[in-house]
Amino acid sequence: MLCTRCGEREAERVIYVEAGPAGKPPRSSSEVNRDSVTDRPIRMKLTAMSHLILKHSSVACVCLLAGATTLSAQTIGGEVAEAMTAQPLRGYQVRLFYLAQGDSTHARDSTTTDERGLFQFGGQGTGAYRLEFGPSASRLTSSARVEASTPDTSIAIRFRVPVLELSGAEVFSSKDVQQVALAYNGRGPRYPEDLRSMNVTGEVVVRFVVDSTGGVRTGSLDVLRSTHPRFTQAVADFLRTARFHPARVGGIAVAQLVQEPFTFSIAHM
């Protein structure tokens, strides 16, 4: 049977699953909200889905992945979206582990999602696989397990990855984001005129939260070190109105904890 959307031979099955934190199994179908068509785990032939393709864009994307391969090729692919916002995670790392051979520590393949949050792997054989999602060396990883019952199984997966939930208080460290928060321009704090006239130099090291809108979160400023109270006040005044490009994970703007030194030097004025 040919897919009416893709024009290619249809694959064996489509599976929708929900990813969970690494080390925990994905949520079962009984735990998933059944009120929404896009949230409902589904197991069915692609032939039974063809009439839904034009109605649900998420199903159409999965069809393009799964239907582009013939029954002689095994593929594992799908869409990765943030669980709370349902936004596609772009440029998000995905790692494939083949559990059927007893190796759960070494990834067989890795890739990153495209602009639509889509990814695809070639299969390794029948049996169990684990897919892990998250930036390299990050604590913010989640995983899900899938099964390939035959050598020609083609699995399309729509993962909801709890990025914001995994961040705890929804504040990320610099190592947990793919793009760190950056100031709009090279402007810095105003040098106190009285200290400059006396050639007083110094440094202030602060920690603060840049929220997802690019502003410094009120009450988040923490002074770690300062050589003069007037320099401290200059930094605080600057950050009150400073604007940043927010940090991003998978293309989604998130809050980030930033630690920044501010140097006051006559030579750089």
List pLDDT tens digits, range 149-173: 888 888 888 888 887 776 555 788 8
Torsion of CA 157, 23, 124, 17, to 10 degrees: -10
pLDDT of residue 76: 92
Neighbours of 269 (CB within 10 A): 8
Buried b (16+ CB within 10 A) or exposed e, 193-212: eebeeeebbbebbbebbbbb
pLDDT of residue 136: 64
Domains 14-165 and 171-268 share a fold: no
List pLDDT tens digits, range 175-187: 888 889 999 877 8
Closest by Cα among 66, 145, 78, 158 to 113? 78
pLDDT at residue 63 is higher than 90: no
Q: Which CATH class is domain 14-165?
A: mainly beta
The overall pTM is greater than 0.85:
no
pLDDT of residue 230: 96
Contact 248, 178 (CB under 8 A): yes
pLDDT of residue 21: 56
The mean pLDDT value for 35-53 works out to: 29
- What gap in Å lies between CA 231 and CA 223, rounded to an integer? 11
pLDDT at residue 69 is higher than 60: no
Supply the DSSP string of 39-88, one letter for each residue: TS--EE-GGGTGGGTTT-HHHHHHHHHHHTS-TTS-EEEEEEEETTT--B
Least confident range from 27-41, 102-116, 126-140, 245-259: namely 27-41
Using the Cα atoms of residue 118, residue 124, residue 125 and residue 128 in order, give the sign of their dihedral: negative
Domain boundaries, the chain: 14-165, 171-268
* Fold observed for domain 171-268: TolA/TonB C-terminal domain (3.30.2420)
Beta pairing class for 75-82 and 118-122: antiparallel
pLDDT of residue 95: 92
Using the Cα atoms of residue 28, residue 117, residue 64 and residue 132 in order, give the sign of their dihedral: negative
List pLDDT tens digits, range 183-241: 987 788 999 999 999 999 999 999 999 998 999 999 999 999 999 999 999 999 999 99
Contact 246, 176 (CB under 8 A): no
List pLDDT tens digits, range 111-143: 999 999 999 999 888 999 999 998 766 767 888
Contact 127, 46 (CB under 8 A): no
Residue with tokens 């980030």: 256
Q: Is 138 exposed, middle or buried (0-12, 13-18, 19+ CB in 10 A)?
A: middle
